[in-house]
Amino acid sequence: MAEDLFVTGTDTHVGKTVLSALLVAALNGTYWKPIQTGASEGTDRQQVMRWAELPESRTVPERYCFDPPVSPHLAAEAAGITIEISRICRPSQIPAAPLIIEGAGGVLAPINGSEMMLDLIGKLGAPVVVASRTALGTINHTVLTVRALRGAGVCVKGVVMIGPENLDNERAVERYGAVPVVGRIPMLDRICRRTLLQVFESSFDRRAFS
Ligand SMILES: Nc1ncnc2c1ncn2[C@@H]1O[C@H](COP(=O)(O)OP(=O)(O)O)[C@@H](O)[C@H]1O
Ligand SMILES: [Mg+2]
């Protein structure tokens, strides 16, 4: 069975949902976002269903879902609850493997008074793909993210660079992060199943995802 993947990113709005839609389409998998905030503006699960043309049956409902577009720890606090990692378990039955799991924010986004997204990543145990910008600032953000993941004993499969091509930054990420760039997503005029599959064919390292 194809192995699950956890999609994290160097930041919010970096392209995690675009990358998740691409992977779930290309690998014929199932999508799950365990913690969603900002649901008042739509959920990432709905966005992935649109972009990847995925039926709802190939998604797993969120375990925690909050309306305000704020950090999970704040959204939970406002709702009067505490997010508990012990209550977030990989579903035992999924319609199609692999399970593509999308995080919220970056790896050190807090989810309760003492734990961060990184703790959830460690608990779920899937190898991680890091969504990174190609733009200035990415070397620092990406290497920090990779180091935090490895420091917690998490397997980093690789980095996917998103945005206008910047080979110098890409090489620097590989060198200073000691991590492979396993894919590139250019800025797309139209994000849809067809363009996402084309990008996977042309700009992803197929061996990293087989
Ligand atoms: N490769 C891309 N091509 C075009 N637009 C993109 C691309 N990547 C991200 N975007 C834009 O940036 C927004 C944020 O991306 P998203 O995947 O939702 O980020 P995240 O999940 O990390 O918060 C998207 O709604 C989309 O408009
Ligand atoms: Mg997202």
The ligand that comes nearest to the alpha carbon of residue 21 is 1
- Surrounding ion ligand 2 within 5 Å at CB are 16-17, 44
Residue 210: pLDDT band (50, 70, 90) is confident
pLDDT tens column, 12-34 = 999 999 999 999 999 999 999 99
Say if residues 20 and 99 touch (Cβ distance below 8 Å): no
CA 34 / ligand 1 centre spacing (Å): 19
pLDDT tens column, 90-113 = 999 999 999 999 999 999 999 999
What is the residue with the minimal CA distance to atom 20 of ligand 1? 13
Helix axes of 167-177 and 138-151: crossing angle, nearest 10 degrees: 30
Distance of CA 130 to the CA centre of its chain: 7
pLDDT tens column, 181-207 = 999 999 999 999 999 999 999 999 999
Residue range 5-209 forms a domain whose CATH class is alpha beta
What is the residue with the minimal CA distance to atom 6 of ligand 1? 187
Answer whether 0.95 is exceeded by the pTM. yes
42: left (phi over 0), alpha (psi -120 to 50) or beta: left
